[in-house]
Amino acid sequence: MDIKYSLKNDEYIDFNIKYILNSKIIRKFFYIQKVSLAVAFSGILYLFYKTYKPSILFIMSIFCLVYIGGSVLEAFIISYLLKRKLKENIVNDKRILGDKNLRFLDDGIHEISENSDYLVKWKYVRNLEVVEEYIFITTDLNKGYIIPKKDIENIDELVDKVNKHKRKKGGNNELRED
């Protein structure tokens, strides 16, 4: 199975934002942050209520507006900051961006590009994830493949092939040749 694709700067940034925002660790962080913010804000509103004696409806409406507005604003700010940081760090890096050809062979994934001709053996392939319009294949070699779905003819075949060969959980994590 061969896949020819081109990864552009915007696609790389888009993938990373989606991958980071959908990761379990980040979602857990946002959940903890929202709960602790709600508790802290409730305490402040309680002090405001005790001091100034406004109606409870007024206090709840302030709470809802600030909490919902903060959540929406937080998503935009984080996306903006991530995009800006990624643009600073990855400026037309030929190792990541550009035209690639991946060949899925019996002994591994063969990457052919302008700057490399590299074979990743199946024992180093860790995982395959589908992140919206991208397929992400991670390896133990500090290398990963971001493949736009639009460039894959048969996604099910790719998923089956990688899942069939990838290193199983709890398998050998050492990076050495047999």
Shared domain for 17 and 84, answered yes or no, is: yes
Q: Is 152 inside any structural domain? A: yes
Angle between helices 56-89 and 9-21 (to 10 degrees): 140
pLDDT in the model for residue 172: 43
Ordered strands of the 144-148 beta sheet: 125-131, 134-139, 144-148
Say if residue 175's pLDDT is above 50. Answer: no
**How crowded is the C-beta side of 86, counted as CA atoms within 13 Å?**
21
Q: How many residues are present in the chain?
A: 178
- What is the residue type of 122? W
The angle at the Cα of 7, spanning 120 to 147, to the nearest 5 degrees, equals 50
Residues 108 and 154 in one domain: yes
- Structure token pair of residue 36: 């602790």
Spatial neighbors of 66 by CB under 8 A, at least 6 apart, are 41
pLDDT value of position 174: 38
Mean pLDDT of 49-72: 74
- Domain end position, chosen among 63, 89, 115: 89
Q: Scanning the structure block, which residue is given the tokens 């003819």?
A: 153
Domain boundary among the residues 37, 61, 89 is at 89
**Whether residues 83 and 133 fall in one domain:** no
Output the average pLDDT for the chain.
78
Structure letter (DSSP) for residue 168: P
Number of Cβ within a 10 Å radius of residue 3: 19
Residue 173 lies in a domain: no
Count CB-CB contacts under 10 A for residue 123: 22
Closest listed residue to residue 13, CA positions, set 23, 21, 3: 21
Residue 161 and residue 119 share a domain: yes
pLDDT single digits (tens) 71-124: 777 777 877 887 887 777 766 666 677 888 999 988 889 998 887 888 989 888
* Domain count for the chain: 2
pTM of this structure: 0.63
The residue range of the domain holding 46 is 8-89
Which of the four pLDDT bands, split at 50, 70 and 90, describes residue 169?
very low
Helices and strands (H and E) in the chain: how many:
4, 7
> Considering the domain boundaries, does residue 2 fall inside one?
no
pLDDT band at 32 (very low <50, low <70, confident <90, very high): confident
129 domain residue, yes or no: yes
For residue 133, being part of any structural domain is answered with: yes
CA atoms within 13 A on the CB side of 5: 22
Tell me, what CATH number does 131's domain have? 2.30.29
d(CA 142, CA 69): 39
81 and 138 both lie in a single domain: no
Poorest-pLDDT segment among 80-84, 92-96, 132-136, 155-159 = 92-96
